[in-house]
Amino acid sequence: MRKTLNIPDNIHDWFENRAKELNISTSAMMIIALNEYVKQEGALKTLDGVLTAMKSDKK
């Protein structure tokens, strides 16, 4: 899937530099970053559920 978006210069520069460090394309770097974001979002939702369950157990 192809998407066109505008990103701030500092984020663009970070993606470019990180991709060069890893010797991968900028597109590949964006896919890696988006995958990590999705994983972290899932982990936060799981953590929220665990904390809610712990609070319920303490009552």
The predicted structure's pLDDT at residue 47: 86
9 neighbors 16 (Cβ within 8 angstroms): no
The predicted structure's pLDDT at residue 55: 83
CA distance 7 to 9: 6
Give the containing element (helix H, strand E) for 9. Answer: helix 9-22
Amino acid symbol at 49: G
The predicted structure's pLDDT at residue 18: 95
Domain ranges of the chain: 27-59
- For 1-59, write each residue's pLDDT tens digit: 888 889 999 999 999 999 999 999 999 999 999 999 999 999 988 888 888 888 887 76
Amino acid symbol at 29: M
